[in-house]
Amino acid sequence: MATAARTDPMLPQPYSVRQVVKETADTFTLTLESSNGVGGNRFQPGQFSMLWVFGVGELPISISGDPANRAQLVYTVRSVGQATHALVSREVGETVGVRGPFGTGWPVEKAEGRDVLVIAGGIGLAPLRPVIYEVLRNREKYGRLVILYGARSPRDLLYRKELTAWARQRDTQVLVTVDYGGLSWRGHVGVVTTLFKYARLQPVRTLAFACGPEIMMRFVARDLDTHGLARENTYLSMERNMKCGVGFCGHCQYGPHFICKDGPIFPYDRMRPLLEKYEL
Amino acid sequence: METLEHIIAEHSFFSGLESYYTNLLTGCASNVRFEKGTYIFREGEEANEFYLIRAGKVALEIFAPQRKPIMLATLGEGEILGWSWLLPPYQWKLHAHAVEPVRAIALDGKCLRTKCEQNHDLGYEILKRFAQIMEQRLEATRLQLLDVYAVGK
């Protein structure tokens, strides 16, 4: 029975909520632990799970925790609708169904020996946080780590304490910007692409990972292209309405790709023709 | 110690400019400093210079009646501040507020306008460089206006 459960990707496994942390007014980080020991906690940075709130609905959510933590799965969720609201309202000890992990991960191994450029917009920092953990844990394998993070306003910034801690690590540069800074904000104001000029990039030895609203990623990828970063060295995390998570249902079809199975992580050279298509 | 001429010649904004022109520009340049909290220029004032920011941070602000100032963007090390000196009526359209102590090189716009009128090759080179900055800032502003991180986007 346990073997069947382990191999059936459509069968959610029960996980217990261990912790709920309020990151911003509408965004929460949930820590889950398997209730029956059947669920798999191994994941690659960038992969996602399908999370069931029983009786409400199922949601694709990127894993935002540390890949080295095999005991727990961590998700950062923005409450924007009925299902996400129900998910972030779970109390400690309540059960959530988990399927996955699914999809492709960020090619962190390809970044070994190179500088790693992480570009995040809004909640897009969540799927990139596992990359940051991975690079910082194996610091000697990588060159510089540059984290560029844009948010709507100072109060929408995720993981504030970690951002400060990451900035103190060697060979690590963290630059944060907001679209709308209040009078008390002393950081950068402007879109995330305006941070490139402060990042001291060496395009030929850099691998870039970007996640955020699709239009932001389009601007980011285009600007990186202009800065001389090879298109195959820029990776984007794409998003479409996912349902089955394993390429059966076709809900997340994006041109010739299924985002859930072929992605969500794609190199820019494969995404570029599609990003420029209207209404796709 | 770095000379003004060397700083201008090495700055990416003037990259590719012949040394004859960088010499001309140096004749219009001076080192300036602004304390934190001071306004480098204000909306409506005569615009007779622009700045190469060497250190510190400048906020571009706009005021609306009965509202606190709105910070539209920040500029930092290596960036160019100000282009209203280039186009009539030569008046600033925004406030530039030093939110950190700022060190910069000020270039005298009046002096430069005269040199550009006398030497159209120089004028074209300057205009091309400012057009690129305007294009980059326009694009950034468009993206900012899209409010891409708002719920439902």
Same domain for A143 and A225, yes or no, is: yes
H-helix segments, chain A: 2-7, 82-88, 125-137, 160-167, 214-226, 259-262, 268-275
Residue A73 binned pLDDT confidence (cut-offs 50, 70, 90): very high
R_g (Cα) of chain A, nearest Å: 18
* Contact at CB, A152 and B147, closer than 8 angstroms: yes
Whether A233 contacts A208, CB under 8 Å: yes
Please state the pTM of the whole predicted model: 0.93
Indicate whether A114 and A88 sit together in one domain.
Answer: no
What pLDDT score was predicted for residue A90? 95
Model confidence at B152, pLDDT cuts 50, 70, 90, reads: low
Q: What is the pLDDT of residues B9-57, one digit of tens each?
A: 999 999 899 999 999 999 999 999 999 999 999 999 999 999 999 999 9
User: Do A94 and A8 sit in the same domain of this protein?
Assistant: yes
Do A241 and A118 belong to one domain?
A: yes
Q: How many domains does chain A contain in total? A: 2
In this model, does residue B106 exceed pLDDT 90? yes
Are both A90 and A207 inside the same structural domain? no
Which CATH number covers residue A188? 3.40.50.80
d(Cα A71, Cα A73) in Å, to the nearest integer?
A: 7
A147 and A32 co-located in one domain: no
Q: Taking CB atoms and an 8 Å cutoff, what residues of chain B touch A196? A: none
CATH of the domain at A23: 2.40.30.10
Q: Is B146 helix (H, G, I), strand (E, B) or coil?
A: coil
Which three-class secondary structure state does DSSP give residue A6?
Answer: helix
For residue A280, being part of any structural domain is answered with no
Establish if A124 belongs to a structural domain: yes
Q: Residue A272 has what DSSP assignment? A: H
- The verdict on A41 and A175 lying in the same domain is no
Residue A62 counted as domain residue: yes
Residues A80 and A194 in one domain: no
Residue A1, pLDDT score: 46
Picking from A102, A132, A151, the residue at the C-terminal end of a domain is: A102
pLDDT greater than 50 at residue A229: yes
Overall average pLDDT of the A243-265 stretch: 92
Average pLDDT, chain A: 94
**Within a domain: A230:** yes
| Low-confidence winner among A5-9, A54-58, A208-212 (lowest mean pLDDT) | A5-9
Residue-wise pLDDT for A26-48, tens only, equals 999 999 999 988 766 799 999 99
Q: Residue B79: its chain A contacts at CB < 8 A?
A: 197
Task: Return the residue in A179, A215, A220 with the most chain B beta carbons within 10 A, the one to mutate for interface testing.
Answer: A179
> What domain range includes position A71?
2-102
Q: Is residue A45 part of a domain?
A: yes
Q: Which of A102, A120, A143 is the last residue of a domain?
A: A102
Residue B60 one-letter amino acid: L
B60-105 tens-digit pLDDT: 999 888 888 889 999 999 999 999 999 999 999 999 999 999 999 9
In contact, A72 and A48? CB cutoff 8 Å: no
Residues A135 and A48 in one domain: no
Which range (A92-101, A154-163, A179-188, A228-237) has the least confidence?
A179-188
Kindly state whether residues A144 and A237 are assigned to the same domain.
Answer: yes
Chain B contact set for A213 (CB, 8 A)? 148-149, 153
Distance from CA of B45 to the nearest CA of A (A): 23
Q: How far apart are CA B140 and CA A257, in angstroms?
A: 30
Pick the CATH number of B4-145 from 1.10.3210.10, 3.40.920.10, 2.60.120.10, 2.60.40.1220: 2.60.120.10
Specify whether A64 is located in the same domain as A46: yes
Instruction: Give the per-residue SS3 of A105-167.
Output: CCCHHHHCCCEEEEEEEHHHHHHHHHHHHHHHHCHHHCCCEEEEEEECCHHHCCCHHHHHHHH
Q: What is the pLDDT of residue B8?
A: 92
Assigned domain for A116 exists: yes
Closest Cα of chain B to A124: distance in Å?
A: 10
Position A23 scores a pLDDT of 97
A191 contact B CB<8A:
yes
Q: Where is the domain boundary, A80, A102, A124?
A: A102
Same domain, A137 and A77: no
Residues of A in contact with B100 (CB under 8 A): 186
